[in-house]
C-alpha cells in the first residue's frame, strides 16, 4: 500500500514562503502522477498542481500560477510544492496525492496524504 507523508506546513505572513514536501513509500513512485490539493473550511477540495511521472509536464490552477511550483525527485520518492507570495486566500489544509493518470479532480487520485495546515495571516 502506498503511504504519503506530508510536512512543511505552518503559519506565515502574507508575502511569505513555504515549501511542502510529500514522501512516498510502499509503491513505485516514478509510475505515479503526483498532485497537490487543498481544502479550506466550508469549501470543496480543489486542485492546486500536478506533475507527470518524469517531471517534464506540470499543471497548476490559475490562482497560483507564478507563485507556486511543483517538482519531484524520483530518487528520493518525494514531491514538493514551493509556495511563494502567499496570500490569506491560500490558507487551507494541503494534501498530496498519487494517480495513475493526469487529472485535476480528486476523484482521479488513488492515494492521499494526511494533510498539512497552511495558514497565511494578513
Q: Would you say 98 and 111 are in contact if contact means Cβ atoms under 8 Å apart?
A: yes
76-98 pLDDT, tens digit per residue, is 999 999 999 999 999 999 999 99
State the alpha helices, DSSP H only, in the chain: none
Given a contact cutoff of 8 angstroms between Cβ atoms, the answer to whether 70 and 36 are in contact is yes
Match 510536512 to its residue by C-alpha cell.
Answer: 7
What are the cell numbers at 84? 511563494
102: pLDDT strictly greater than 90: no
Summarised one tens digit per residue, pLDDT across range 35-80 is: 999 999 999 999 999 999 888 899 999 999 999 999 999 899 999 9
> How far is residue 71's CA from residue 80's CA, in Å, rounded to a whole number?
5
Cell (9 digits) for 29: 513512485
Measured in residues, the chain has a length of 122
Amino acid at each position: 500500500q502506498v503511504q504519503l507523508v506530508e510536512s512543511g506546513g505552518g503559519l506565515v505572513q502574507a508575502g511569505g514562503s513555504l515549501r511542502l514536501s510529500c514522501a512516498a513509500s510502499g509503491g513505485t513512485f516514478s509510475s505515479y502522477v503526483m498532485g497537490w490539493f487543498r481544502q479550506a473550511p466550508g469549501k470543496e477540495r480543489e486542485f492546486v498542481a500536478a506533475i507527470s511521472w518524469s517531471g517534464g509536464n506540470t499543471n497548476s490552477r490559475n490562482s497560483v500560477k507564478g507563485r507556486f511550483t511543483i517538482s519531484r525527485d524520483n530518487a528520493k520518492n518525494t514531491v514538493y510544492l514551493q509556495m511563494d507570495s502567499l496570500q490569506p486566500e491560500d490558507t487551507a489544509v494541503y494534501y498530496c496525492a498519487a494517480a495513475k493518470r493526469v487529472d485535476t479532480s480528486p476523484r482521479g487520485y488513488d492515494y492521499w496524504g494526511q494533510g498539512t495546515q497552511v495558514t497565511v495571516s494578513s
